[in-house]
Amino acid sequence: MQATLKKLLEFSLLFSALLFCSCRSIVVRDYVDKSKNDGKLRIVQISDFHSNDFGKDESVLIEKVADAKPDVILLTGDIFDFEREGNLPVKNVAVLLEGISKIAPFYYVAGNHEYMAGHVDECSTLIEDFGGRVLKDTSVSIDFAAGFLIIGGLYDPYEDLTEAQRLADSKDNREAYLNRLKSVAEKSNKIKKDLENSGKNVLASILLAHRPEYLNEYSQYDFDLVFSGHAHGGQWRIPGILNGLYAPHQGLFPRYAGGRKAKNDTVFIISRGLSYQCPNFPRIFNNPELVIVDLN
């Protein structure tokens, strides 16, 4: 009897330790995607930070970003979360931005949580205060030694809703969102065409869009890579069996919980996000994730 209880206790402790680690420790997920060129470029994606704590002054997360030695950093929404107490919603983000601003240029699009408390404009201003580039339904090109990278940014569907609709988590205004998507794609294509007509080398055309559930719509346009987040990896996972249990705006057993997918010559990177404190619901076998993508 005592032996059985001892084994049960050991199993419980081991299982608890695994759950604790799967909730808190950051996994660095490294993807390699081929571009049409020989130049190498490293991208780091930070998504769904939700104003969380990762060591004193975000030292754990900042160190992992620095260790990756990125050429560019992409912030794909829900970086802020005003459900955190006191000054944490802004303080933690400011510390993170200060840290990554010393590592590489960074680009940002808003997710739904930046809209939740009516602070989307203040969030964008803080990004710019630390030298980041806000991509609100627009596209830009970046000149690297290996060639140009085109980045288009699409703000969350909450952009198209009233404050009351956002608080009620109303259905998306699909028509408005898809019209904005089309506009961003046209801007990116124009930049690409102008660069190629000038004999410039274009490494890849990228879209930053917080919501992954619009993957089919994104794939209709000429983007090489699309970076999304929002799904938090489906919160609970069973690796190899269940990719995710539940994701916002997808429901149970979400199709796009996290990982790498491809459709119509477009590669989709869906980050499992970093948040483990807010929302206050444990992640199981679903570590907070920092994404690296190497363009070869």
**φ and ψ at 146, to 5 degrees?**
-80, -15
Per-residue pLDDT for the chain (296 aa), expressed as one digit of tens each?
Answer: 555 554 554 444 444 445 555 576 899 999 987 555 455 899 999 999 999 999 999 999 999 999 999 999 999 999 999 999 999 999 999 999 999 999 999 999 999 999 987 899 999 999 999 999 999 999 999 999 999 999 999 999 999 999 999 988 889 999 999 999 999 999 999 999 999 999 999 999 999 999 999 999 999 999 999 999 999 998 898 888 899 999 999 999 999 999 999 999 999 999 999 999 876 778 888 999 999 999 97
CA dist 98 → 82, 95, 103, 178, 243 (Å): 19, 5, 9, 34, 34
Q: State pTM to two decimals.
A: 0.91
Cα(257)–Cα(278) distance, integer angstroms: 18
Q: What is the pLDDT of residue 240?
A: 83
**CA dihedral of residues 62, 63, 66, 68 (deg, nearest 10):** -110
136: left (phi over 0), alpha (psi -120 to 50) or beta: beta
Distance, CA of 32 to CA of 125 (rounded, Å)? 33
Tokens of 33: 């995607």
pLDDT at residue 18 in the model? 52
- Cα 277 from Cα 283, distance rounded (Å): 10
Tokens of 14: 């081991």
Q: Quick one: tokens of 193?
A: 């065409």
Q: Which helix (H) or strand (E) holds 266?
A: strand 266-270
Q: How far apart are CA 255 and CA 111, in angstroms?
A: 19
Close Cβ partners of 27 (under 8 Å, ≥ 6 residues apart): 287, 288, 289, 290
Are 163 and 119 in contact by the 8 Å Cβ rule? The answer is: no
